[in-house]
């Protein structure tokens, strides 16, 4: 417990977390501080490209082996399975109807790439290495959860609009395309390619992440302010409990695969995070009757800040304790 508190304290005073806190407090205080949408989009593109490229270069240096393939399979299974766990938990803790519960559950099988990036930065700061291919695991975990959520709705007898537009939204979502594309470029060009653009994607990375999290804090704060009365205590409890439950599934997968301590942490983070980009876009197409104020506020306004401030230190401490890292 002492180690977790120490990690949490160090994390809370990091520039990354304080940038998010600044945005959150500014939004709650109704400040006119804002990041232009085009700038925020540019920051997102930079982060996705950088993390994807570095992951691909890491795979080029590591090579393809059974553990990499096993990690990809584990990611797919976790993404498909966790929405069912989340759905059961929501039905226990809240009074959400099936449609909204399924929409929320889909977010908790998919991933938050920014939470993944923040955890990677924490590991780098502590000198803890991890498998470069974990970014590929993040990419494959984006879509299966959406299909699980739609199955939950269809099973209840309600309709889910599954058409060509939805498949396009799932498979050609910009964040997925960019992440996988940058990963492939990094894989093809390897360490030599990384060396060529290192000054662009390594040195400025944390500064760009701080600005992006400032914007995320503003978005989360506005969502919390506007959704007062929408979420009950049970839903908020779910937003904190589900990432802890999900992380245990990730922990089990990481230990079974024999990942490094850092790899186990990242598998836990992926299983604990909740999407607020890819899945909301898909839900708007497939389940337009679901309430965005519920699923977006839970994923971005409750789970995201929980993971950033408290969750990541817990996952790091548990993984290091069980792997001897």
pLDDT in tens, 291-319: 888 888 899 889 999 998 899 999 999 99
Identify the band that residue 188 occupies on the pLDDT scale cut at 50, 70 and 90.
very high
The fraction of the chain above a pLDDT of 90, given in percent, is: 41
pLDDT at 156 exceeding the cut of 80: no
User: In this structure, is residue 29 part of a structural domain?
Assistant: no
pLDDT band at residue 4 using 50, 70 and 90 as cut-offs: low
> What is the average pLDDT across 62-74?
87
Residue 226 has pLDDT above 80, yes or no: no
- Domain tally for the chain? 1
The CATH code of the domain that includes 157 is: 1.20.1530.20
pLDDT at 193: 93
Instruction: Average the pLDDT over 192-201 and give the result.
Output: 92
Domain presence at residue 31: no
C-alpha to C-alpha distance for 121 and 51, rounded to whole angstroms = 11
pLDDT of residue 159: 55
Residue with tokens 């609009």: 161
- For 137, residues 6+ apart whose C-beta sits below 8 A from its C-beta are 71, 72, 74, 75, 266, 267, 270
Reported as a single tens digit per residue, the pLDDT across 21-44 is 899 899 999 999 999 989 988 998
Residue 280 inside a domain? The answer is yes
Domain carrying residue 268:
2-21+37-218+228-323
User: Which of 154-168, 208-222, 252-266 comes out lowest in average pLDDT?
Assistant: 154-168
Say if 181 falls within a structural domain.
Answer: yes
pLDDT of residue 157 exceeding 90, the answer is no
Residue 160 has pLDDT above 60, yes or no: no
Q: Residue 223 domain-assigned?
A: no
What per-residue confidence (pLDDT) applies to 3? Answer: 57
Residue 11 binned pLDDT confidence (cut-offs 50, 70, 90): low
Task: Note whether residue 195 is domain-resident.
Answer: yes
**Nearest 5°: CA angle at 89, between 84 and 90?**
95
Within-domain flag for 250: yes
User: Residue 94 contacts by C-beta under 8 Å, 6 or more apart in sequence?
Assistant: 101, 232, 234, 235, 238
**Least confident residue range of 153-157, 229-233, 276-280, 307-311:** 153-157
Task: Tell whether 277 is covered by a domain.
Answer: yes
The rounded distance, in Å, linking the Cα atoms of 79 and 61 is: 27
What's CA 196's distance to the chain center, in Å?
29
């Amino acid at each position: 417990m002492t180690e977790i508190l120490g990690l949490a304290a160090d994390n809370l005073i990091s520039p990354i977390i304080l940038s998010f806190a600044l945005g959150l407090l500014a939004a709650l205080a109704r400040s006119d501080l804002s990041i232009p949408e085009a700038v925020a989009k540019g920051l997102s593109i930079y982060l996705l490209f950088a993390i994807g490229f570095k992951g691909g270069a890491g795979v080029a240096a590591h090579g393809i082996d059974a553990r990499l393939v096993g990690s990809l399979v584990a990611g797919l299974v976790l993404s498909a399975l966790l929405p069912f766990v989340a759905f059961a938990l929501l039905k226990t803790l809240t009074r959400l109807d099936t449609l909204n519960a399924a929409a929320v559950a889909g977010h908790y099988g998919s991933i938050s790439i920014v939470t993944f990036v923040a955890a990677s930065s924490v590991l780098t700061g502590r000198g803890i290495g991890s498998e470069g291919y974990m970014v590929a695991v993040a990419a494959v975990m984006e879509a299966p959860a959406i299909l699980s959520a739609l199955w939950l709705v269809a099973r209840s007898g309600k309709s889910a609009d599954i058409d060509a537009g939805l498949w396009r939204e799932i498979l050609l979502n910009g964040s997925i395309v960019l992440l996988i594309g940058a990963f492939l470029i990094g894989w093809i060009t390897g360490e030599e390619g990384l060396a060529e653009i290192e000054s662009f994607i390594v040195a400025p990375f944390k500064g760009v992440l701080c600005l992006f999290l400032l914007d995320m804090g503003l978005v989360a704060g506005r969502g919390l302010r506007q959704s007062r009365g929408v979420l009950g205590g049970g839903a908020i409890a779910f937003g904190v409990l589900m990432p802890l439950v999900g992380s245990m599934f990730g922990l089990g997968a990481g230990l079974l695969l024999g990942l490094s301590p850092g790899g186990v942490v990242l598998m836990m983070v992926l299983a604990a995070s909740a999407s607020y980009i890819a899945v909301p876009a898909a839900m708007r197409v497939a389940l337009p009757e679901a309430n965005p104020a519920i699923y977006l506020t839970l994923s971005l306004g409750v789970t995201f800040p929980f993971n950033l401030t408290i969750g990541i230190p817990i996952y790091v401490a548990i993984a290091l304790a069980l792997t001897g890292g």
